[in-house]
Chains A and B, each alone.
Chain A
Amino acid sequence: MTFTIPIENGNEVKNAEADSQRTLYPYVTGTSVVAIKYKDGILMASDMGGSYGSTLRYKNIERMKAIGKHSLLGASGEISDLQEILRYLDELILNDNMWDDGNSLGPKEVHNYLTRVMYNRRNKFNPLWNTLVLGGVKNGEKYLGMVSMIGVSFEDNHVATGFGNHLARPILRDEWREDLSFEDGVKLLEKCMRVLLYRDRSAINKLQIAKMTEEGVTVSEPYSLKTFWEFSAFTNPTVGAEGSW
């Protein structure tokens, strides 16, 4: 047989060393964050799990942090990149404080800074593998925005990352109102987190809710949601057909 086998395209030699300096895949990841604007400010909810692939490795990761006096950051995605972002923001806030001019960075400014950071990293093919939610209140104005790992950023009344986009946003689009009270807001967030708990495999039943108002940030203690598993089709799925499945 004399016929030629074609040479595969893409015979560039990949530089293994250069690759190890870029983020190629995430390792320890956090799942969704859901946030809404309510009457007095911002409410944000996230669970406390860090998955290592398909293992639930860490169950005590706080993925929501206060930034400066006016902002609250929540992140999903790679945890180490979140910690790196917190260091960048620390430096940013520190520099701002050093000016000592009576002015402090508000949520809009921090959101813009994060957008620039994420977009620039993505352009160098070395992204910070996170989707960030930035909420805050400054001078009575509420702000809630989101930045993704490729630098897409926008602002909305309710945001969610990861699976929350598919499972929580439909609920929020239906039921969010302009002047939710604190209790109603928490109930709405808990509704979303419960659906995520049922249907997202990397969610755990240990969540925190963070509140951001003009006075400051309070992150609640971790607690768990009540779930219901007693449907008759679950307890006896083969009624009428014993032995089937």
Chain B
Amino acid sequence: MRCYRHCWNNEARGNWITCWVGEKQNEIWRMRRDGEVFWVLADEFPVGDFVDEFPVGDFVDYGRRKKNCSFLLLLRFYFFPSSLTLQLPSSRKSSNQSRVVNRKMTQSSVDLPPKGGFSFDLCKRNDMLKQKGLKAPGFLKTGTTIVGLIFQDGVILGADTRATEGPIVADKNCEKIHYMAPNIYCCGAGTAADTEAVTDMVSSQLRLHRFQTGRDSRVITALTLLKKHLFSYQGHVSAALVLGGVDITGPHLHTIYPHGSTDTLPFATMGSGSLAAMAVFEAKYKEGLTRDEGIKLVAEAICSGIFNDLGSGSNVDICVITKVRLFIMV
């Protein structure tokens, strides 16, 4: 199959780099400088022809990579950016140029999706790509063991400190216990960026709320804010959290799953090491533990995760939250 490659005048066009005109099906392909690829099926352009301009919104459908072309992949799109033109290099002019559609760029503004809410357009595109055979980049699973338990004076949270990037330990001493409020802390498992961002965001919201109400934050406030956010992203924000704190109504411990469901529990574990840690809790937890017993049990549970799960390791972080004062041990 013959391919024609045209190099565009970058200065003039800015974004467009190359274009191929495929022989077999009259396809015209283009690659933008920033790497986004799309192509246009244009039946009316004969093979080998150069095209001049397309009106906005002309692109209709998707296709497959041709063997001789070096484009990796095609996107389907619903709208073009308004500055979509193909420019011929000045040296080559098509003989059929007069026949080629010389449409002017319509400057119609593109309809943006309504503000707010999650736009799932790219999800449809990703599904289409997967169907066509593109392997999606996987999420890097961050192994973790995080635990929490309620003892007689408050809540104890514990976490390991290993952050993994596939089979490699990316950070051997990271902090998985995040600050939410002076009396509320949150351990996070799952994608590290997601847990950081989500806890930061809710922590700021809680601070503003404290300014507004003049009272200490309550644990269920943090819980509701987190679960609202996670649910609205339908599990794509991969953050599994153990939220614990002591407020005016007493000590509370909750788990929050990436899809937005929550549990209220006397003891909780999350992460890849959660089964090993849960085995320790189920065997040894009882109500009304003292502070030292609680710390010992949390440390045992995290150690169980560290020794029996490959995704967890390094050190143990423990956070004790009580009614009067807050202690953090690292």
Interface residues of A (CB under 8 A from B): 1-6, 163, 166-171, 173-174, 191-192, 194-195, 198-199, 231-234, 237-241, 244-245
Q: Are A240 and B283 in contact (CB under 8 A)?
A: no
Residues of A within 8 A of B250 (CB): 239-240
Which of A170, A173, A199, A239 gathers the greatest number of chain B CB atoms within 10 Å?
A: A170
Choose, from B103-111, B273-281, B319-327, the stretch at the interface: B273-281
Q: Does B14 contact A (CB under 8 A)?
A: no
A163-B275, A167-B278, A232-B287 are known; give 20 further A-B pairs, CB within 8 A.
A1-B43, A1-B60, A3-B41, A3-B64, A4-B25, A6-B133, A166-B275, A167-B276, A168-B279, A192-B279, A194-B282, A195-B278, A195-B279, A199-B278, A199-B282, A233-B264, A240-B249, A240-B252, A241-B218, A244-B220
Q: When A174-B304, A233-B265, A240-B220 are in contact, do A167 and B279 touch as well, CB less than 8 Å? A: yes
Q: When A194-B282, A233-B150 are in contact, do A240 and B218 touch as well, CB less than 8 Å? A: yes
Q: Does B58 contact A (CB under 8 A)?
A: no
Q: Are B64 and A171 in contact (CB under 8 A)?
A: no
A-B contact count (CB 8 A): 85
A-B contact pairs, 10 of them (CB 8 A): A1-B61, A3-B64, A166-B275, A167-B279, A170-B308, A171-B279, A191-B283, A192-B279, A231-B266, A245-B264
Q: Does B27 contact A (CB under 8 A)?
A: yes
Q: When A4-B64, A232-B287 are in contact, do A166 and B276 touch as well, CB less than 8 Å? A: yes
Residues of B within 8 A of A199 (CB): 275, 278-279, 282
Residues of B within 8 A of A4 (CB): 25, 64
Interface residues of B (CB under 8 A from A): 25-27, 41, 43, 60-61, 63-64, 132-133, 150, 218, 220, 224, 247-250, 252-253, 262, 264-266, 275-276, 278-280, 282-283, 287, 300, 304, 307-308
The one of B218, B224, B249, B280 in contact with A170, judged by C-beta atoms closer than 8 angstroms, is B280
